[in-house]
Amino acid sequence: MWTVLKFDKKNLALLKKDLSRKLGKDFKIYIPKLRIQKYKNNKLVNKDINLLGDYLFCHHKKLESKNTLNSLRFVVGLKYFLDGFIESQKDIENFISKCRNSECKDGFLSKNFFDLDLSRRYKFSSGPFADKIFQIIDLQKNRIKILMGNLKTTIKQKEYLFTPI
């Protein structure tokens, strides 16, 4: 059973160690990550970001039991378990499978993870337009026509990473 838990980013290694001690070695942890390229001091820098911030998915068959959850409540590095994960198993599994299907060979989410919509606004996360907001005018197979302020231009979809606002 999958559960969603909030963790302390500084103590992730301790959390994994304590979970393996209490649950055994057969638990799985999944944290979807993005790799963003930004220019800093005229150099291209890679930055790895957790997609869900300080939340992660943990899978183990013992997590169905309330007694197990109560015994794990005071594990080092764990802030709390997110409520309602028992009723949302199908949604959690669908989200995890979507993330895993769109991962590249390095284990980071690729650009095709986000569904593009013409009516939404987006923000560039990489490239020379980093942190600029734009709107999609037209979608083509490999190119996107965008509007950034008064500037209309065409970009290649695979070259830039952008997220919806």
Kindly report the CATH number assigned to the domain that includes residue 81: 3.30.70.940
Local confidence band at 30 (pLDDT 50, 70, 90 cut-offs): very high
Quick one: average pLDDT of 140-144?
83
Instruction: Decide: residue 161, CB within 10 A, 0-12 exposed, 13-18 middle, 19+ buried.
Output: buried
In terms of domains, do 77 and 123 share one? no
| Residue pLDDT, tens place only, 33-84 | 888 777 777 777 888 888 888 999 999 888 888 888 888 888 889 998 888 8
Q: Which of 89, 111, 133 is the last residue of a domain?
A: 111
State the residue for tokens 């943990």. 58
94 and 160: one domain? no
- At 92 the pLDDT is 92
Say if residue 149 is in the same domain as residue 81: no
Greater confidence (10 vs 126) lies with: 10
What percent of the chain has pLDDT above 90?
Answer: 18
- Asked if residue 83 and residue 57 are part of one domain, the reply reads yes
Question: 100: domain range?
Answer: 2-111
Distances (CA, A) of 94 to 4, 26, 91, 100: 14, 21, 5, 10
Q: What are the tokens at 109?
A: 């989410």
**pTM beyond 0.85:** no
**Domain C-terminal end among 90, 111, 132:** 111
What does the pLDDT read at residue 111? 65
Report yes or no: 68 and 81 within 8 Å, Cβ to Cβ: no
Classify 48 as helix, strand or coil. Answer: strand
**Residue burial 106-123, b: 16+ Cβ < 10 Å; e: rest:** eebbbbebeeeeeeeebe
Q: Are residues 94 and 132 in the same domain?
A: no
pLDDT exceeds cutoff 70 at 112: no
Q: Are residues 126 and 86 in the same domain?
A: no
pLDDT at 126: 72
More confident residue, 43 or 146: 146
Q: How many domains does the chain have?
A: 2
